[in-house]
Structure 1
Amino acid sequence: MMACVTTSHFAPRTRLEGTTGRTGTITTPHGEIQTPAFIPVGTKATVKTVLPESVAALGAQAVLANAYHLYLQPGPEIVDQAGGLGRFMNWPGPTYTDSGGFQVMSLGAGFKKVIAMDLVGEQDDHKIADGKERLANVDDDGVTFKSHLDGSMHRFTPEVSMQIQHRLGADIIFAFDELTTLMNTRGYQERSLERTRQWAIRCLAEHNRLSVERSHRPQQALWGVVQGAQYEDLRRKATRDLVELSRIDRENGGKGFGGYGIGGALEKANLGTIVGWVTDELPDDAPRHLLGISEPDDIFTAIENGADTFDCVSPTRVARNGAIYSFDGRYNITNAKYRNDFRSLDEELDNYSTQYTRAYLHHLFKAKEGLASTLATLHNLSFTITLVDRARRAIDEGDYVEYRDEFLRRYYAGTRQAEAR
């Protein structure tokens, strides 16, 4: 058996009174992450339209890339030859990769970026998006899927996902899991949960093997992924099962899980409740990552229910369509009223994107200039990073509730006003 090698460590710092929220520090081979932290998504080893140096300058502490997309293009062997994800994309700090399971399942069912944030319609285990064909088929050994790029056939198993992620070289990697939707029946969720548990055992074994084989590389931390959809008993069981698997693996000389991801399709209204079920079952020294959230209010919900890090594509995606976040609400810069508005995008933020006026960004979008997406993305990233940094500081200083309430009051009042005009 291999000796247990510490690859990452989490140290809690300040508790958020009356909740499971906390601040802390995740230590990785490429630096520390002060939590809670927003992790920008760099799906294909890039945060779309902006330089990695710019993302770092805004205060981002880590980035998350996707194993599915990097497997298809350029291929994990290319990233490995470059020295790993960080070196490949010229990012000096910590990196995450998800297992590829989300993209395999969501693209496979034709749902693109989002499986479901609300439960609508009757449950159906064979549901796919309207007008789409099923591109992925799951069995107990793995998933066979068709590439969305060229239609070629591929297969992911737990072992393949580990091999890909080890070659990608991120500091934090995730176990391969089956992502279900809110449309799946209770019976399917139960069967899927056992499949994901069995896959977690295989991921741990392959991760331990590869960690020895690739001891010349910085050691990586494997995090388990909790599924269970909207069912409390399934979420709690999945969490306890993973914690027990990690304990047994460590007792047998393995590395166990370095942390845990909270995955799956989540109803927005029950986001905090579901995250709370999971974090209630996790050991205190285990970091928790919420895999994908949406709007600013979700950030506060995640923090208060014990998520230490979380990723979200919304700030960058909506930026490319002209939606601008500000502390006084979200607005659409392409609206005519901004044509001669020479204020900065948000006078409260201090970053180089705020040197540009609303009128200028309005012009760039109307002229279809690429710089429009770059400046809007930088701004929305800065907004989200600042929002979370202030929340972390507020927890440490004891005035989190006041900060949260004031932020939400301003932001949503401003958003409603912008939408009403």
Structure 2
Amino acid sequence: MTSRFSFDLQATDGKARKGVISTPRGDIRTPAFMPVGTAATVKAMMPESVRATGADILLGNTYHLMLRPTAERIDRLGGLHKFMNWDRPILTDSGGFQVMSLAGLRKLTEKGVTFKSHIDGSRHELTPERSMEIQRLLGSDIVMCFDECPALPATDAEVSKSMQMSMRWAARSKDAFGDRPGHALFGIQQGGVTKDLRAESAALLRDIEFDGYAVGGLAVGEGQEAMFGVLDYAPDMLPEHKPRYLMGVGKPDDIVGAVARGIDMMDCVLPSRSGRTGQVFTRHGVVNIKNARHADDPRPLDENCTCPACSNYSRAYLHHVFRSNEMISGMLLTWHNLHYFQDLMQGMRDAIEIGAFDKFVTDFHEGRAQGDIEPL
């Protein structure tokens, strides 16, 4: 076990990268997909089940946890890892995105953001310093800078003003983070879909120096084409020998496209949220388990999948428990989706190692284009 945080870039194939992030709580194989445990739980999953899907790291949410049960309470109870029974690495986001998307009556100043809780209307203040304090109390292994994420579309002038403030907040985050061996602080590149602003942001972040770098401000409604347009250049602006994290992505084809453009880490609520709503990801695209065509189908979701849902249950059963609003439906479908996402990451890691990433991408798209198996 290492006592410090480090990143070892082991292989590249085109821009795609395979590596290992080492932390005192264990290694994270990259490209990595991080399941989201918003409120100290990946919904419908036990932590040991999440680990069994192949996840090396989880994401926790600063905004939700600071409001309930509070970071101070989690600290008193031994920290987030102990609290949620997950002994491997945890990344916490800074809370900035949720303040933008969830909080009511927020007021933004140079100091930070004051806002009303979406739970009970209570007033709170989040600053770079407070965000660092909350993430320290939680005990997360990878801490994100506090930033402002502007809602797109916005003018270049608005994006530039927001980016400049985020960079000043990044410097304050670094000062407040202090010296914490074994814990990492990531900076977040902003700049919307404007190349010059992305370059300016990256240069300012490199000057401050971080343990890793995120590409922020994407996957907020700009569409895949615009996102890939930014990813064609944005990761290249960040230091080569530090991890690169694309926040809030995404769908399987978003993930494959991001890895092809040099991204090492991603997170998204999609596999768990989709599992609870009956949407299932397979090698042959998306299956909607609520459709009547599955009611008499004794076959598994995917005969090549080794997850419990596919190994032990038929489509007919999964259709039945979903239609009956049984809890086991969300549990099994979430497990399958998380298994599929981790399987996808392992496939990419293997392909990059042997220099066969292009073939992997071709096979991935061809498999999805086939569509689901024919109804019986």
With normalisation by structure 2, the TM-score equals 0.95
Of the three residues 139, 158, 165, the one matched with 2:135 is: 165
Identity %: 42
Residue 181 of structure 1 contacts residue 265 of structure 1 at CA under 8 Å; is this kept in 2?
no
Report the Cα offset of residue 83 of structure 1: 2.5
Residue 142 of structure 1 contacts residue 155 of structure 1 at CA under 8 Å; is this kept in 2?
yes
Unaligned runs of 5+ in 1: 109-133, 212-217, 247-256
**2:196 matched to 1:229?**
no
CA deviation digits over 1:353-405, x for unaligned, max 9? 21111111111111111111010100000011101110110110121111211
Residue 214 of structure 2 corresponds to 261
TM-aligned CA distance change 1:412 to 1:83, over 3 Å: farther
Residue 271 of structure 1 contacts residue 301 of structure 1 at CA under 8 Å; is this kept in 2?
no
CA deviation digits over 1:205-235, x for unaligned, max 9? 11016x3xxxxxx742110011111111111
**2:67 matched to 1:52?**
no
Residue 107 of structure 1 contacts residue 135 of structure 1 at CA under 8 Å; is this kept in 2?
no
Range 263-272 or range 155-164, more displaced: 263-272
Residue 317 of structure 1 corresponds to 273
Report the Cα offset of residue 6 of structure 1: 7.5
- Separation in 2, partners of 1:170, 1:353: 31
AA at the equivalent of 2:357: Y
- Separation in 2, partners of 1:289, 1:243: 15
Of the three residues 9, 12, 16, the one matched with 1:15 is: 12
- Separation in 2, partners of 1:399, 1:219: 34
Residue 182 of structure 1 corresponds to 152
The number of equivalent residue pairs is 371
CA deviation digits over 1:103-159, x for unaligned, max 9? 001113xxxxxxxxxxxxxxxxxxxxxxxxx53221111011110001111110000
Residue 180 of structure 1 contacts residue 265 of structure 1 at CA under 8 Å; is this kept in 2?
no
SS of residue matched to 1:96: strand
Residue 250 of structure 2 contacts residue 267 of structure 2 at CA under 8 Å; is this kept in 1?
no
AA at the equivalent of 2:279: A
Residue 83 of structure 2 corresponds to 88
Of the three residues 297, 310, 317, the one matched with 1:360 is: 317
**2:343 matched to 1:386?**
yes
- Separation in 2, partners of 1:334, 1:313: 20
AA at the equivalent of 1:224: G
- Separation in 1, partners of 2:113, 2:120: 18
- Separation in 1, partners of 2:305, 2:313: 12
- Separation in 1, partners of 2:285, 2:234: 31
- Separation in 1, partners of 2:70, 2:214: 25
RMSD over aligned Cα atoms: 1.8
- Separation in 2, partners of 1:360, 1:40: 26
TM-aligned CA distance change 1:79 to 1:226, over 3 Å: same
SS of residue matched to 1:269: helix
- Separation in 2, partners of 1:193, 1:328: 40
SS of residue matched to 1:239: helix
AA at the equivalent of 2:319: H
- Separation in 2, partners of 1:147, 1:107: 8
**2:113 matched to 1:143?**
yes
Unaligned runs of 5+ in 2: none
**2:358 matched to 1:401?**
yes
Report the Cα offset of residue 270 of structure 1: 2.3
AA at the equivalent of 1:412: A
Report the Cα offset of residue 55 of structure 1: 0.4
Of the three residues 314, 317, 330, the one matched with 2:286 is: 330
SS of residue matched to 2:255: helix
Residue 324 of structure 1 contacts residue 376 of structure 1 at CA under 8 Å; is this kept in 2?
yes
Of the three residues 224, 235, 240, the one matched with 1:284 is: 240
TM-aligned CA distance change 1:152 to 1:61, over 3 Å: same
Runs of 4+ in 1 over 3 A off after TM superposition: none
Report the Cα offset of residue 304 of structure 1: 1.1
- Separation in 2, partners of 1:271, 1:207: 30
Report the Cα offset of residue 78 of structure 1: 1.9
**2:101 matched to 1:106?**
yes
Residue 364 of structure 1 contacts residue 372 of structure 1 at CA under 8 Å; is this kept in 2?
yes
With normalisation by structure 1, the TM-score equals 0.85
- Separation in 1, partners of 2:331, 2:299: 18
Residue 249 of structure 1 corresponds to none
**2:328 matched to 1:375?**
no
SS of residue matched to 1:325: strand
- Separation in 1, partners of 2:186, 2:270: 24
AA at the equivalent of 2:213: Y
- Separation in 2, partners of 1:153, 1:43: 21
CA deviation digits over 1:70-100, x for unaligned, max 9? 0001110122123222211111211100000
Residue 188 of structure 2 contacts residue 215 of structure 2 at CA under 8 Å; is this kept in 1?
yes
SS of residue matched to 2:178: helix
Report the Cα offset of residue 277 of structure 1: 2.3
Residue 128 of structure 1 corresponds to none
Residue 13 of structure 2 contacts residue 356 of structure 2 at CA under 8 Å; is this kept in 1?
no
